[in-house]
Structure 1
Amino acid sequence: MKFFISLSFSLLIASASIQAFSIPSNKDENDDFVLPEGSTSDGNRYIEAETGDVFKLACPGSSLSSLGGEMAEAICVSGTDFSVDGETFSFSRLGCNSQPKEDTNDLGTACGPNGDGEEIQIGYPTLGGFQETIRVCFNREEARSYYSTHIIYRNIIARDSGNDRPSFKADEYFDFDVDEAYKRDNQEVVIQQLTGISSYIDNGEYFMSRGHLAPNADFVYYHFMDSTFHFINVAPQWQIFNGVHWAQLEQSCRDFVGGIQRDLIVYTGTSGTLELKNTQQTYVEIFLMPEDKILAPPKYYWRVLFDPLENAGVAFVGVNNPYLMEDEVNDFTVCTPLNSHPVMDGVNNPTRLDYGLTYACTVEDLAAVFPEDNQEVVIQQLTGISSYIDNGEYFMSRGHLAPNADFVYYHFMDSTFHFINVAPQWQIFNGVHWAQLEQSCRDFVGGIQRDLIVYTGTSGTLELKNTQQTYVEIFLMPEDKILAPPKYYWRVLFDPLENTGVAFVGVNNPYLMEDEVNDFTVCSPLNSHPVMDGVNNPTRLDYGLTYACTVEDLAAVFPEVPELGNLGLLTE
């Protein structure tokens, strides 16, 4: 029997399925948060449960009101009654004595445009591990938050309301008084010191607020909202921009999610350093800690909404400068604005400059501008040629080895977003032939209805011609000759039940010439294979030459390919 249980108090609940938000006891447990259905506006919020469903209840940093302790397991009996250790309780008695407390967790993985940031989780150290609400990429040396990642759930209309705002937490990530640095008095002093002008900061909306990356209103529960109040999740943002256009954009994103009723992954980040004119009308960079040139207000805020189910996304940019002039707008329009988007309908007069110029563009367009500036510099440095990297599809993306779309659950998809699982891959190759190959592999597995083991790897180092028409090796960190874009991507599908396999090779070079094709055909291409049927015109070179061969043939060329023994050819 199915029951609907009113929800009106603080509690963390973990379930097996983020889609169903309930735990049939015979399912594997993946410890996702249960979120309420219904709506806050009409006071009708509930969670859905069936007799026998098992829930993990947790009050990290507090205790369960009727049970004591931080954690318990409850079994749905009937109606609103749950059994805990053989004793029956009404669900209303299973709240926390006080609001659960979040913490931070260092992942030890690099992130950011040049790998100079570190990934930090904000969440709850319980439920069999660390339950993340937000993941932040943070540069300690510069006190700069590059970006945060979180999810806006389709249940956002059922969020708590009326929460008191807690104080911001510095944790252990700042070696100075960051709260003091954000104070208006300090901003007046340092900006006048840097520019010679005292009028930039006033007593109204012209000051730097603590601009959330993952905003508190994007979360359902009070305690999730509280987890946004960490200084690693904010950056200095003009309050007039924060309170008007950016706030409207955030609300419109929530409305959009509520409308389409799908959970979206949200990336919110910063780029560049704010510049203001000094008394000589020359632009100077602004820092709230100018002596050390740290805690810089960003030049731009950006946000990406990503739908993993539809493999679709959209990006938004806001200019963090209410003093922008009309004749500067083109210089600050860093990607081609979309003519329209439903989210932008919620931003009133987005071209009004004192509220922060705001516009939408494609994710690819945005990615070509912000994180890849380093590529233009180093490739020109190595080759003497500036045209290899452009503002379109000719740049190095973070090419997944194990792609997120190969996984079933959101949290499994999230696990693919580690830099150890990517390599520099030309976006035009990544987005066409390689993406088609990955999708065709998924379709093939769905067709044969057997689980396949997938090995995806790289080999060699990309070489490009310099001004003397001589090939030189490319590194994104050329000083140390590290982070090399590979020459080839390869993939092996292995069927352990049938002891069969097949291999695929893609050339990571859209500048390959016709007279070089034989040199880059490293194994004997198969005449046909069902997976290759999903790759359109695989010999088109600017999309990345792609072909299939036997696993044995590939292993004879690439030492990185695992030894799988004598395999038959996997075709069905």
Structure 2
Amino acid sequence: MELKKFQIFFALVVLATCEKFPSQHDDRENVILRRIQFGNKTDNEIVRYKPPSHALSAIPQNRIFQGASGKLEITDNCEGQTFYLVSAYPRKDDCTETSPSKMQYESLPTYISCFDPILKQTLYSVGHVYGNGGLPRTGTGNFEQAMSLFQFQWKNMYNTPKQRTNLKAMLGPTNYARFFPDQQPYAYTCGHLFARGDVNTRVGQASTMFYLNVAPQQGILNAGNWKKIEDDVRVLVDPGNALLKVWTGTFGLLELPNDNGNMVKMYLGQGAIPVPKFFWKLVYDMVSTKGVVIIQFNNPHATPDEITRDRIQCQDMCDRVPWLTMTQAQRDNILHGYTYCCNVDEFKQIVGYPSNLPTIINY
């Protein structure tokens, strides 16, 4: 059965004004209110901005944002309804007599998420990685729930005490203690898909802080081999050696045994927010047209037999990827995230998405 999907398009709107506003480096700035036109003069949204956080406006489905640079075109491959989430920030004008206007609009896409609203599952997020250029990770530390789109309490599902209570009820006390020991950070965290560190603007970083852009990931994996993968991607692009487009997604549903020996399908909510069996990252070098899919098991307690049985079957090609720094021993470390690489064609044949990929040469 085809999943019901739609696109979430994140864009930044630049407010160029010669009216006085506080420096974004000043922590004492006031809130700035501006009315921004979406579509026509009578169909407006109020944008609330307080640096260095971001403002969010949700444009109703199938609405086209008309900015100075034209319409925001959706060209990616997640079929279905479309929403736009827009962040806004001011940019000071020179305030000369020749200033064209007090306010301008520019569309600056950050990423697109392909999302199943029934299961509350993000299949993947895709965007260009520019590297953060040494920019510190700033912006809000809290994830946005996008309640204007979904009446769903995302943060309750990721709340660690509540999550542990649910996990203990699902697995029983013995296997809960085995898989999620209290003294270790094994509860499921918000695993970024399009990573905050891949963005080179402060507001762009903040726009990654949505529950729509995360999936449940074991904390030790997020800080383990997955972090090494993300770091390698940024090192590849930071010196200007590559222009990258990166798809990051999830696949499969993790099952764990309960105390009775029965396999339990893992969800953070009641039939919602499935815990993926795999995280994957498709890295495409747009200059050389080379690409690879890096796959990681989302279970630090998987056995070698389980990995052999359940893995996405392909010939591991990690050793052929020159910018991937993890050694074979590091990639085989299950506790930090068992990791291997597939060529794009093999991966796509098994997983089925994303579709309409460019022609990609394997390493």
TM-score higher than 0.5? yes
Aligned partner letter, 1:168:
F
> Compared with structure 1, are the counterparts of its residues 187 and 203 closer, same or farther at alpha carbon in structure 2 (3 Å cutoff)?
farther
**Which one is further off, 342-351 or 207-216?**
342-351
Are residues 208 and 59 of structure 1, via their aligned partners in 2, closer, same or farther at CA, if it must alter by over 3 Å?
Answer: farther
- Deviation of 1:356 after TM superposition, in Å, equals 1.5
Match of 1:377 in 2: none
Change (3 A) 1:134 1:317: same
By how many angstroms is 1:346 displaced? Answer: 4.0
SS at match of 1:369: helix
| Deviation for aligned residue 1:312 | 2.4
1:128 aligns with 2:105: yes
Aligned to 1:359: 340
Aligned to 2:196: 216
Counterpart in the other structure of 1:228: 208
Tell me which residue corresponds to 2:114: 137
Deviation at 1:121, TM superposition (A): 4.8
Q: CA RMSD in A?
A: 3.5
Residue 75 of structure 2 is aligned to residue 98 of structure 1? no
Q: Tell me what 1:320 maps to.
A: 298
Measured in 2, the distance between the counterparts of 1:323 and 1:268 equals 23
Q: Which residue of 2 aligns with 1:338?
A: 317
Please give the alpha-carbon distance, in whole angstroms, between the structure 1 residues aligned to 2:59 and 2:304. 44
With over 3 angstroms needed to count, the CA separation of the structure-2 counterparts of 1:361 and 1:107, relative to structure 1, is farther
Q: 1:364 to 1:148 in 2, by over 3 A?
A: same
Taking a change above 3 Å as real, the CA distance of residues 339 and 211 of structure 1, as seen in their structure-2 partners, is: closer
Residue of structure 1 in register with 2:152 after alignment: 176
Letter aligned with residue 355 of structure 1: H
Aligned CA distance change for structure 1 residues 105 and 219 (closer, same or farther; 3 Å): farther
SS of aligned partner of 1:342:
coil
User: C-alpha displacement at 1:110, in angstroms?
Assistant: 11
- Match 1:158 to one of 117, 128, 133: 133
Other-structure match for 1:189:
165
Equivalent residue for 1:555?
A: none
- Among 272, 291, 304, the residue aligned to 1:294: 272
SS at match of 1:237: strand
CA distance in 1, matches of 2:61, 2:344: 26
Which residue is equivalent to 2:125?
148
Q: Does 1:262 align with 2:242?
A: yes
Cα shift at 1:315: 0.9
Describe the superposition over 1:515-560 as per-residue Cα deviations: whole angstroms up to 9, x where unpaired: xxxxxxxxxxxxxxxxxxxxxxxxxxxxxxxxxxxxxxxxxxxxxx
Q: CA deviation at 1:229?
A: 0.5
Displacement after TM superposition at 1:365 (Å): 1.5
Task: Tell me how far apart the structure 1 counterparts of residues 20 and 350 of structure 2 sit (CA, whole Å).
Answer: 48
Q: 2:113, 2:124 within 8 Å by CA — same for their partners in 1?
A: yes
Counterpart of 2:87, as a letter, is Y
Structure 2 equivalent of residue 276 of structure 1: 256
More RCO (CA 8 Å, sep 6+): 2
Pair 213,368 (structure 1): closer, same or farther in 2 beyond 3 Å: same
User: TM-score, structure 2 length as denominator?
Assistant: 0.70
- Asked if 2 retains the 8 angstrom alpha-carbon contact of 1:273 and 1:298, the reply is yes
- Alignment check: 8 A CA contact 2:145 2:210 kept: yes
Q: Distance in 1 between matches of 2:21 and 2:346?
A: 49
Residues 369, 124 of structure 1: alpha-carbon distance in 2 compared, 3 angstrom cutoff = same
Spell out, residue by residue over 1:262-315, the C-alpha distance to the aligned partner (whole angstroms, 9 max, x if none).
Answer: 22111111111111111233322011113xx11111111111112233332211
Q: Give the letter aligned to residue 224 of structure 1.
A: G
Task: Kindly provide the CA deviation profile for residues 411-443 of structure 1, in whole angstroms up to 9, marking residues without a partner as x.
Answer: xxxxxxxxxxxxxxxxxxxx99xxxxxxxxxxx
Q: How big is the shift at 1:164?
A: 5.3
Residues in 1 aligned to 2:240 and 2:326: alpha-carbon distance in whole angstroms: 15
Distance of aligned partners of 1:318 and 1:121 in 2 relative to their CA distance in 1, 3 Å threshold: farther
Q: Say whether the 8 Å CA contact 2:87–2:207 is kept in structure 1.
A: no
Asked if the contact 1:123–1:132 (Cα under 8 Å) also holds between the matched residues in 2, the reply is: no
Paired amino acid for 1:124: S
SS of structure 1 residue aligned to 2:222:
helix
Q: Which whole-Å CA distance do the structure 1 matches of 2:185 and 2:109 have between them?
A: 33
Number of aligned residue pairs: give it: 295
**TM-score, normalised relative to structure 1:** 0.46
Cα distance in structure 2, aligned partners of 1:344 and 1:315: 12
What's the CA shift for 1:359? 1.2
TM-fit CA distance, 1:192: 2.2
Report if the CA contact (8 A) 2:114-2:125 is conserved: yes
Kindly state the Cα deviation for residue 63 of structure 1 after the two structures are TM-superposed: 7.0
1:328 Cα offset (Å): 1.4
CA distance in structure 1 between the partners assigned to 2:20 and 2:296 by the alignment: 42
SS in 2 for 1:345: coil
> Which digits, 9 at most, give the CA deviation of each residue in 1:288-347, with x for residues without a partner?
113xx1111111111111223333221111111111001112123312210512343146
Q: Structure 2 unaligned segments of length 5 or more: list them.
A: 1-10, 24-31, 36-48, 63-73, 90-103
- What SS does the corresponding residue of 2:324 show, helix, strand or coil? helix
Q: What's 1:198 paired with?
A: 176
Give 3-state SS (helix, strand or coil) of 2:119's partner.
Answer: coil
Distance change (3 Å), C-alpha of 1:178 and 1:59 = farther
Cα deviation for residue 219 of structure 1 reads: 1.0
Shift of 1:57: 6.0
**1:207 equivalent in structure 2:** 187
Structure-2 separation of matches of 1:349 and 1:194: 32
Judged with a 3 Å threshold, the aligned counterparts in structure 2 of structure 1 residues 190 and 241 are, in CA distance, closer, same or farther, namely same
Q: Which amino acid aligns with 2:280?
A: W
C-alpha separation in 1, matches of 2:207 and 2:20: 18
Instruction: State whether structure 2 residue 33 is matched by structure 1 residue 58.
Output: no
